Structure 1
Amino acid sequence: MPPETRPPENGAVSGHDADMLLHRTARGDERAFELLYDVVAAPVHGLVRRVVRDPAMSEEVTQEVMIEVWRSAARYDPQRGGALAWIMTIAHRRAVDRVRREQAAGEREARAARQGAGADHDPVSERVEARLEHERVRRCLGALTHLQRETVTLAYYGGHSYREVAALVGAPPNTVRTRMRDGIIRLRDCLGVER
């Protein structure tokens, strides 16, 4: 194995080695990324674990960091610092972002729970609302023609089919359908229901 592709013997890597591996990773060299992963995964995980604290979440964030290193290796600028520092900066940012996201989610859940606990069931209010809604429907039914109101009432309140309504009112089923359709359109308009 050529020396530039051989992993470090003692598991340590110099800043120069990490720079070279990251540079080769930026060109799509998968073997260089494997070596870089072997070198930086443990320190990245250690940093992430100190920030995130949760072991499973720390592993997830470490994987996200390494994926980001693979995807964004071409953006690494050696003029701004070493490869290891660049990777650890990514790791720190990812870990802090995860902690903030988890805290925000916890706060949202707590707020929702507090709001849900404060909303008491008010049967009196519900009955008043139901009565007002019935009055609106009754008023809108009154705005229909006699034939429309009769067919809609028989079908919706009486539970009859088109054929049964047609037999009860002595009209053809198609006429009943037309009256019901027109009546329902007028009811929707009166009640302010969008189509």
Structure 2
Amino acid sequence: MRQGPLPEDARQRLVSALGRVAAGEREALRAVYDLTSAKLFGVALRILDDEAEAEDVLQDVYVTVWNRAGGFDPARASPITWLCTLARNRAIDRLRALRPHRSRADLDAADRVADETPGALARLEAEGEARRLAACLDGLEPRAREAIHAAFFGGRTYEDLARGAGVPLGTMKSVIRRGLIRLRGCLEA
């Protein structure tokens, strides 16, 4: 299921609430929580597949929001993209901490998925090109489109996608890589 940007009124309420959080207003943090907790919990739960761990991650995210709301720039990213990025990165960090026995290659793959800065989607949305991205995504073959959407917008790991599709991890990485190359070509055209 494709997730679009927030409706403009919800986006503005969230931007306003984040500004008030940056000013130290506790009630504003409650408003941010009320507007976003279900979505952010879903992002964490998809990555961790454990409700208790996802709840812990969600708490960490809102502590981070309290401490870093002043760093949010609505000109660079939508508020929900910024918050989802925080949740996704925290969940992947938690997954790494829970699975210390994983190979270095798995950790390297997770590092490529997570990014501490607002990603391409955030920049595109900030520039008003989200519709163009959606059109380019629609032009991809269904398997690549669904995998890219689930990984980059849904917070799922490549390993999780491969397992769900019943294909080797290398195959899933190839599908996504080819899709991303085609997507870049479309966006650059």
TM range, smaller chain:
0.3 to 0.5
Q: Which has the larger radius of gyration?
A: 1
TM value normalised by structure 2: 0.48
TM value normalised by structure 1: 0.46
Larger relative contact order (Cα-Cα within 8 Å, sequence gap ≥ 6)? 2
